[in-house]
Amino acid sequence: MSSTPLAHADAVTRRFGDFTAVEDVSMTVEPGEIVGLLGANGAGKTTLLRMLLGLLLPTEGAVRLFGEPPSREVRIRLGYVPQGLGLYTDLTAVENLEFVSQAFGQETAPDAPPGSGGRLVGGIGLGMQRRLAFAAALSHNPGLLILDEPTSGVDPLSRARLWDTIHSQAEQDVGVLVTTHYMQEAQQCDRLILMSHGRQVASGTEADIIGDSTAVEIDPAADWTRAFSALNEAGLPVTLAGRNVRVADTRPDDVRTALRAAGLEADIRTVPATLEEKMTIFDRATPNSPTPVASAGSAPP
């Protein structure tokens, strides 16, 4: 493995006037690893990606791609799938791939996804568009893939196929940095970086990040609709998985008190927290107060 990270952010901050979109974030992506960048909308994920790409300059800190400051010469070594996919909807799928291949100096373009070739991109489905965007990003055999919500809005089978592509690239020593809202996809990453309110609040594997955090689960036999409403009105971080009502990072006695105040009695038990619940805990932290960073020993500083 190369000693130089494919992508590196060193204590980067980006401000827009009085608003701080990203604050003091450090991260790396190594060859052959899949790094998941997680966080709610507005957490700063896309701003961080744009700084790594050199599309935004950091207000503070520094970024490197393949050991160098981002530039046109360096960016030719990476593949990028933005949230908007970066496709020309008034061109056919084949024309999009030919254009991208020529822009990267390739003699031939990759094949378009079956059934899309001669059709205008604006007239094909979102799943097919995302497959086309992947083909365009991979057309020049990049060493690093940066993917911003690459599977958003597509069906589970299409997501699985796109993740097969991501894993096959990592197996060829390509580094991957991917943002996602799907917790099942986060579990496919080698390492995770969690952002909240513009800050990096945790990093490491899923097990590292969850640690010994727990949640309180209400007996599914209880009136789950009333239980959820009562706990939500009490201001507790309640979530719903099917009909399982869960409250993260909360003492069982506080859950009982909130239920009884609504006239409910229910059996409860303490269970390990999920990654989604851990993210909820971070997101509920006051944005203007320091947030402790949970990290694994092998995670970047």
230-243 pLDDT, tens per residue? 888 888 888 887 77
Determine the average pLDDT of the residues in 6-13: 94
Please report which confidence band the pLDDT of residue 19 belongs to, taking 50, 70 and 90 as the band edges: very high
Query: Can you give the pLDDT at residue 297?
Result: 34
Query: Can you give the pLDDT at residue 292?
Result: 39
Please report which confidence band the pLDDT of residue 221 belongs to, taking 50, 70 and 90 as the band edges: low
Query: Can you give the pLDDT at residue 285?
Result: 62
Does 141 score more than 50 pLDDT? Answer: yes
11 vs 105: which has the higher pLDDT: 11
* CATH number belonging to the domain at 214-272, selected among 3.30.1360.70, 3.40.1670.10, 3.30.565.10, 3.30.70.100: 3.30.70.100
300 vs 96: which has the higher pLDDT: 96
Joined together, the tokens standing for residue 83 give: 């949230």
Tell me how far CA of residue 168 lies from CA of 12, 128, 164, 171, in angstroms: 30, 19, 6, 5
273 vs 115: which has the higher pLDDT: 273
DSSP code, position 143: S
Does 209 score more than 50 pLDDT? Answer: yes
Query: Can you give the pLDDT at residue 289?
Result: 43
Please report which confidence band the pLDDT of residue 287 belongs to, taking 50, 70 and 90 as the band edges: low
Q: How far apart are CA 235 and CA 126, in angstroms?
A: 38
Query: Can you give the pLDDT at residue 20?
Result: 92
Contacts of 214 by beta carbon, 8 Å cutoff, 6+ apart: 248, 249, 270, 271, 272, 273
Helix axes of 126-137 and 156-171: crossing angle, nearest 10 degrees: 10
CATH architecture of 7-207: 3-Layer(aba) Sandwich (3.40)
Across the chain, where does the E strand assignment appear? Answer: 7-16, 19-29, 34-38, 60-65, 78-81, 144-148, 175-179, 191-196, 199-204, 214-218, 238-241, 244-248, 268-272, 294-295
Query: Can you give the pLDDT at residue 39?
Result: 85
- pTM beyond 0.85: the answer is no
Strand order in the sheet with 238-241: 238-241, 244-248, 214-218, 268-272
Where do the CATH 3.30.70.100 domains begin and end in the chain? 214-272
Query: Can you give the pLDDT at residue 106?
Result: 81
Percent of the chain with pLDDT over 90: 27
3-state secondary structure of 108: coil
Determine the average pLDDT of the residues in 193-214: 88
Where do the CATH 3.40.50.300 domains begin and end in the chain? 7-207
Does 202 score more than 50 pLDDT? Answer: yes
